[in-house]
Amino acid sequence: MAQTAGQPSLTALSLLIQNRRADYYTQLEVANKRLDIDAWLSWFADTVLAAQDYTLRWLDFILAKTRLLDRLRGQLNERQEKALLRMTREGLEGFRGGLSAGNYTSITGAPAATARRDLAHLVELGALVRTGQLKGTRYWLPFAGTADDV
């Protein structure tokens, strides 16, 4: 489709179809048993639109990540940078369950007290958003969305 349109289109179509493969095969099977393919075309068009939406959200995520890391350049220690890069590798889905102080310690090898100071500094810089209290405290990227439809 992208080649026919004369310009490349940025979509995550294969990702969406992979994640929805049971529905994809069901739709193919139903369309294969009829002469009417309207339902298939409608399903496929909806999938293409969802993939384009995902792609736009992914691009927004990449731009936000780049802006954040550019803004923080020279203000982070190695541990903080390592943790932020690990969190951003999760993409739109985000760091499942949020980052805890224990996760931070596992990622960076920092002692608990150092992890708490580093995380507080990241919150102060606006690199992370803190939610919860005590053992329920979690840290999130300020721009991470969800990818529930993928």
Question: Domains in the chain, please, with CATH?
Answer: 13-140 (1.10.10)
The pair of structure tokens assigned to 140 is 């999130």
Q: Over the stretch 117-149, which tens digit does the pLDDT of each residue have?
A: 999 999 999 999 999 999 899 999 998 654 444
- Helix/strand/coil percent split, the chain, to 5: 60, 5, 35
- What is the signed CA dihedral for 98, 100, 106, 110, rounded to 10 degrees? 130
Identify the helix (H) or strand (E) that includes residue 69: helix 38-72
Given pLDDT bands bounded at 50, 70 and 90, which one contains residue 4?
low
DSSP at 34: S
- Say how many residues make up the chain: 150
